[in-house]
Amino acid sequence: MSLLEQHTLERPSSPEPFAGVGVRMTFARGEEIYAQDEEADLLYRVVSGTVRTTRFLSDGRRQIGDFYFQGDLFGVECGDTHRFAAEALTTCEILVFRPGSSIPGRDGDARIQAALWEATTQELERSREHLMLLGCHTALERVGVFLFALARRRGHGELAMGRQDMADYLGLTIETVSRMLSQLQADGVVQFFGARRYRIMRQDRLEAWADA
Amino acid sequence: MSLLEQHTLERPSSPEPFAGVGVRMTFARGEEIYAQDEEADLLYRVVSGTVRTTRFLSDGRRQIGDFYFQGDLFGVECGDTHRFAAEALTTCEILVFRPGSSIPGRDGDARIQAALWEATTQELERSREHLMLLGCHTALERVGVFLFALARRRGHGELAMGRQDMADYLGLTIETVSRMLSQLQADGVVQFFGARRYRIMRQDRLEAWADA
DNA sequence: CGACACGTTGATTACGCTCAAAGATCGTGG
DNA sequence: CCACGATCTTTGAGCGTAATCAACGTGTCG
């Protein structure tokens, strides 16, 4: 595996089900962790940093599948290739391991199986939430709910991604994202400090959009 | 469980990993199998008929999560409630069972665990494909790719769902779906026989839209 | 045959995209 | 330390795609 040779290798030291499992690797900002259509025989866990998964259409349109933060597992596929590529959004430490016999239904480490199951159903849930956003919501709602969900998931209001990544996640253009951010701020729903730090001011409204 | 009392109960007779598991129930067209926000402690398998999962926003907007056909497992959730409701699109026979100890990572029937894992990763994959459709495609492409994917999945060109269901799956209105269907036919991409039977005429074009 | 749900088509509107340019922000080197 | 350039973000003007509102077909079943 040539990837393994290009990167810093360290013995893993993370706690919990992943102690002693896999290899820790460091990826620079913008670097590819795995490519679209690459063989999917490994699993990945974010030790630090932020990861995005992306898929390109041949004409250049891009969709972001999801963002992954500290502790998240990613790289789970149905078939034998990755439908989305994974890239380091910031400098990342990633724990890479072979699922091998840990796929549910076979025998293997039960704690890893359980973690994998948990990660997969959570991802399915986020994917469905993402679907609601794209299928039923206006541009303003998409941006607002995105900020809200992210703040809730991370515990703070700091965007690890730029406008283009938000746009490609939300099925909008950067201009529209920017306009909606301005409008949300003008409406007093959020307050921004610079382009990437923000604070939710009217949680009630955003919750109503996300839907109770 | 009141549901069980309202329906025909039969001893299951399906083959494979589900032999001898759960209870078979019949649902009429339009009937609810489980409700949005209902407790999620059961799993479901389509024996015959077609099922859709739907979620409503409080203002009436609706998103269809997915359609399920013969042999498909559905009802898998991350938390303890169903985020989407499930409804019989046609008359359906559904095998209902308690996952109980069959959740991966615990011990239980390994064949059911494997089937559950398979179903969940497949659903995740379809969900990501659905996301691509909503995030990156025009109305014409959405409708075209939908027809193509459905024909490929089912092995024939018959729509189990009406225009409203297609629209709510694709994030469009029924009028737009109807117009796009007319245009696809005018362009010679598909041919319709009545409102629900069709034939793909230009697979190459649809594959290009779905993306190679 | 008539009634009702479902589907199609037309006219107009509006939301988000495109094209364009100006304004921030950040890293780099003089 | 500030100037410079590159990149990212915001804002504006005009356009196009899909939504809305409305009317007209079509198919299905009592």
Contact B104 A104 (CB under 8 A): yes
Q: Residues B110, B114, B116, B120: is their CA dihedral positive or negative?
A: positive
Residue B7 has pLDDT above 60, yes or no: no
For residues A128 and B84, the answer to whether their CB atoms sit within 8 Å is yes
Residue B60 has pLDDT above 50, yes or no: yes
- The per-residue pLDDT for B188 is 97
Provide the terminal-to-terminal Cα distance of chain A, rounded to the nearest Å.
47
Indicate if CB(B177) is under 7 A from strand C. yes
- The per-residue pLDDT for B102 is 59
Indicate if CB(B158) is under 7 A from strand C. no
Dihedral pair phi/psi, residue B4, rounded to 5° = -60, -30
Residue B30 has pLDDT above 90, yes or no: yes
Question: Which residue is listed with tokens 């030790």?
Answer: A47
Query: Chains A, B: CB contacts under 8 A, how many?
Result: 125
> Closest Cα partner for B96 from B3, B28, B31?
B3
Per-residue pLDDT for chain A (212 aa), expressed as one digit of tens each?
A: 444 444 444 444 444 688 878 999 999 999 999 999 999 999 999 999 999 999 999 999 999 999 999 999 999 999 999 999 999 999 999 999 998 666 665 556 788 889 999 999 999 999 999 999 999 999 999 999 999 999 999 999 999 999 999 999 999 999 999 999 999 999 999 999 999 999 999 999 999 999 86
Indicate if CB(A139) is under 7 A from strand C. yes
- The per-residue pLDDT for B104 is 64
Enumerate the residues of chain B whose CB falls inside 8 A of the CB of residue A116. 104-105
- The per-residue pLDDT for A5 is 41
Name the average pLDDT for chain B. 90
**Per-residue H/E/C for chain B:** CHHHHHCCCECCCCCHHHCCCCEEEEECCCCEEECCCCECCCEEEEEECCEEEEEECCCCCEEEEEEECCCCEECCCCCCECCCEEEECCCEEEEEECCHHHCCCCCCCHHHHHHHHHHHHHHHHHHHHHHHHHHHCCHHHHHHHHHHHHHHHHCCCECCCCHHHHHHHHCCCHHHHHHHHHHHHHCCCEEEECCCEEEECCHHHHHHHHCC
Distance B198 CA to D27 C1' (A): 17
> Closest Cα partner for B123 from B46, B212, B57?
B46
Contact B84 A128 (CB under 8 A): yes
Chain segment B66-96, per-residue pLDDT in tens:
999 999 999 999 999 999 999 999 999 999 9
Helix (H) or strand (E) holding A119: helix A110-136
Nearest-CA distance from B5 to chain A in Å? 30
Residue B3 has pLDDT above 60, yes or no: no
Enumerate the residues of chain A whose CB falls inside 8 A of the CB of residue B146. none
Nearest-CA distance from A8 to chain B in Å? 31
- The per-residue pLDDT for B111 is 86
Domains of chain B: 2-123 (2.60.120.10), 137-210 (1.10.10.10)
Residue type, A65: G
Q: Find the mean pLDDT for residues B144-171.
A: 97
Distance from chain centroid for Cα B196: 17
What lies within 8 Å, CB to CB, of A75 at 6+ separation is A34, A40, A42, A43, A44, A82, A86
Indicate if CB(B196) is under 7 A from strand C. yes
Residue B14 has pLDDT above 90, yes or no: no
Question: Which residue is listed with tokens 């820790």?
Answer: A24
Name the closest nucleotide to A182, judged by C1' and CA: D10
More confidently predicted of B132 and A212: B132
Strands B32-34 and A197-200: unpaired
Confidence of residue B101 (pLDDT cuts 50, 70, 90): low
Contact B121 A212 (CB under 8 A): no
Residue in chain A closest to B57 (alpha carbons) equals A211
Contact B125 A211 (CB under 8 A): no
